[in-house]
Structure 1
């Protein structure tokens, strides 16, 4: 559902004092899909893994539109190396993406 301030909510959570204990905090606007070669995706996975391993991170993926489950499955691996208590927040207008991302807890607005 468009126009209900999902981006504002994601930004507000990211900037809230209550999440300052997360390090690193990452906010990515995923509005426009970009074609990436497998080498670029591999490099991104390596960089993410190195940046997140053993850390309690907060990741906000804002305005996600890509419904390709295989893309998200590939990108998911680096997020599994973070410390317990890490959080990933996804904002989307596409219900299939919300369902696909529902690994632990989903709140639909």
Structure 2
């Protein structure tokens, strides 16, 4: 099974989320597919650089992966910003959520178990 990484970028007790537009849209942890020869951590750094123009340090996993299709499994990792300010490139909106605000968001279904875990860590 192939891996997709999501990245929960945390800063000052808040997490950065990105909104994917469209009929199947909703809030998600930004990220993308792990390319052949890459580790999850390398893919996370590359994807966040490409999507948000941020340099990050990847931390621990937010738990077991979640199948998002017959071919792909999503893994979400905590990360901190080393440099940069988030730039909106591939999503319709970016937002910093405090722990108390996480329930308010319309999260994509595969991201929801990670949101629950993240709430306990913020």
TM-score by length of 2: 0.28
More helix by share: 1
Rg: which structure is higher? 1
More strand by share: 2
